[in-house]
Chains A and B, each alone.
Chain A
Amino acid sequence: MEHYEIIIIGGGPAGLAAAVGAREAGAENILILERDRELGGILNQCIHNGFGLHTFKEELTGPEYASRFIEQVEEKGIAYKLDTMVMDISGDKIVTYMNKKEGMRQIQAEAVILAMGCRERPRGALNIPGYRPAGIYSAGTAQRLVNMEGFLPGREVVILGSGDIGLIMARRMTLEGAHVQVVAELMPYSGGLKRNIVQCLDDFDIPLKLRHTVTEIHGRQRVEGVTLSEVDENGRPIAGTNKFYSCDTLLLSVGLLPENELSRELGVELSSVTSGPVVDDSLATNVEGVFACGNVLHVHDLVDYVSEEAALAGRHAAQFVKGKEEKWKGGKKKVPVIVENGVRYTVPAFINPKTMEKEVTLRFRVGAIYKNAFLSVYLDGSRVIHRKRPVMAPGEMEKVVLKKEWLLLADGLKNITVKVEEA
């Protein structure tokens, strides 16, 4: 059976940065498996700018950002297969894949990096009653159709959900000549970045209706309109607030879900909060030699942070292959990160103070909007971070950086606690 040191599942931003990180840390024999016809993943359809401010100190579009990493992969001679679908990963790291040229094949890895990304929550998950007419798209599907396939999916558009892709598509459809009537958001706040609300909605006078949802989709063959209703604090439609919007297209931007079917079958422990693998500070899962990074781990706002996280996973996978990682044997020494009061989760969820790098970045989201609150980190009883934040919102990922020396100094450390403390 063909053998690789590291097999990376997915050639999007996470997979590419993981491959580069692994090569730079000394791994020689790396293979990326990608199901699309080209490398780059979702970046290829994100033609707007704003990518790379942290990584490259300039504002790039999605395809430009991807190409920077694709060039590095090519220069370093890292192997990849396109149009290739991974069907299974076994506990002893045999990867089964299929493509048109080779049929079904099995290859052996010493380490596997999960970088499959996420997918959009579909209509079926929303329980909107009505028929199933043509004209209902997830925002990302519409984005691919417009930006890569050259089709405009509709002319009169209503968008449900104010996630960033929905906002970006409100602008994109407008520029292409469609009329975007309204963006409806169930929550009392948008899940998208402020900058996108201003530059994608306000710039084009597109109204954002908070606390509103679609309660009926009209039309049998093609969407003929939708009914929007205001909702109460429990998200239930309020009687008498129905309003009909005549439209031929409904875009859904209602959340992203890490795509972990392969991980689940492999026996990787998944978090019920993120739907992604539970990992330690080296981004290792509970299955020895299996690492995870990018949106398959938890959904990010900025690709820059995906690249950073993925490079870390690549580095640790390379060290694992070289036998430098001893922490699996000493797994009991890991210190759990406990989340309280407003902090929903952290990635990583465990830290090994002895084997961690000089610092570890904990990334997480809060569960509500907090103004002038503090982000605090406790090592058992003692507070090591108490940082004032003017505002925190579920739509913007937060982070704290822990130093190795702090953790080593805390004798017999049992728990690390991250929480929001109000002033």
Chain B
Amino acid sequence: MERKLTCIGCPLGCEVTVELAGEEVLSVTGNTCPRGEAYARKEVTSPTRIVTTTVRVEGGMLPVVSVKTKSDIPKDKIMDCVRELQKVTVKAPIQIGDIICEDVAGTGVSVEATKNVKMDN
């Protein structure tokens, strides 16, 4: 199987082609530097992303607070993560770093607040 990717290592944005046999990477071509190969190998075997979104806030200066996964999670869990967080409501006040959710979408990764939200007076 063949997969085509755009490398994000630098503005060059090489079109990299990865030859795959199941999970095994047979070859990486089209990259102009070693970073391209490393990126492509990771992308085809275990792509991950940090997910950022918002959750609802009760009694705050703002109706929502921004949050992020504490580390990257598998790319195919992004939508599950966001859907789970859509159901969450937290109470003000909130500090940056407050844990919003312990284990999001079964990834074992926690979600933390990225903004301070004071109580609404």
Contact = CB atoms under 8 A, between A and B. Distances in A.
30 contacts: A37-B61, A44-B115, A47-B53, A47-B54, A47-B66, A47-B68, A49-B52, A49-B68, A59-B50, A61-B114, A64-B96, A64-B115, A147-B54, A147-B64, A147-B66, A148-B62, A148-B64, A149-B63, A149-B64, A150-B64, A176-B82, A194-B6, A194-B8, A194-B11, A197-B6, A390-B32, A391-B10, A391-B11, A391-B12, A392-B11
Interface in B38-64: 49-54, 56, 61-64
A49 B32 CA distance: 27
Given A47-B54, A150-B54, A175-B78, A61 B68 contact: yes
Interface of B: 5-8, 10-13, 32, 49-54, 56, 61-64, 66, 68, 75, 78-79, 82, 96, 114-116
Among B7, B52, B116, which residue has the most Cβ atoms of chain A within 10 A? B52
B49 A146 contact: no
A25 B78 CA distance: 45
A355 interface: no
A149 B12 CA distance: 37
Given A61-B114, A64-B96, A47 B52 contact: yes
Interface string A170-198: 00000110000000000000000111011
Contacts of B63: 149-150
Interface in A15-33: none
A48 B52 contact: yes
Contact of A203 (B49, B52, B53, B114): B49
A120 interface: no
A106 interface: no
Contacts of B62: 148-150
A197 B12 CA distance: 13
A146 B12 contact: no
Contact of B13 (A48, A59, A148, A194): A194
A67 interface: yes
Interface of A: 37, 44, 47-49, 59-61, 63-64, 67, 146-150, 175-176, 193-195, 197-199, 202-203, 390-393, 395-396
A389 B12 CA distance: 10
Contacts of A390: 10, 12, 32
Per CB-CB distance, the 9 closest pairs between chain A and chain B, nearest first, are A47-B66, A150-B63, A63-B115, A150-B64, A194-B13, A195-B8, A61-B114, A391-B12, A175-B82
A375 B78 CA distance: 41
A63 B75 contact: no
Given A63-B66, A67-B96, A393 B11 contact: yes
Contacts of A198: 5-6, 8
A67 B50 contact: no
Contacts of A392: 11
Contacts of A63: 66, 96, 114-115
Contacts of B79: 175
Contacts of A147: 54, 64, 66
Contacts of A37: 61
B64 A199 contact: no
Nearest to B95: A67
A399 B119 CA distance: 44
Nearest to A67: B96
Contacts of B8: 194-195, 198-199
A199 B49 contact: yes
Contacts of A391: 10-13
Contacts of B64: 147-150
Contacts of A393: 11
Contacts of A195: 8
A168 to B, nearest CB: 10
Contacts of B13: 194, 197, 391
A49 B6 contact: no
A49 B49 CA distance: 10
B114 A64 contact: yes
Given A60-B114, A150-B62, 12 more contacts: A44-B115, A47-B115, A49-B68, A67-B96, A147-B64, A148-B62, A149-B63, A150-B54, A150-B63, A194-B8, A194-B11, A390-B32
Contacts of A203: 49, 75, 78
Nearest to B62: A148
Nearest to B32: A390
Contacts of B6: 194, 197-198, 202
Nearest to A148: B62
A67 B54 contact: no
Contacts of B50: 49, 59
A263 to B, nearest CB: 31
A199 B43 CA distance: 11
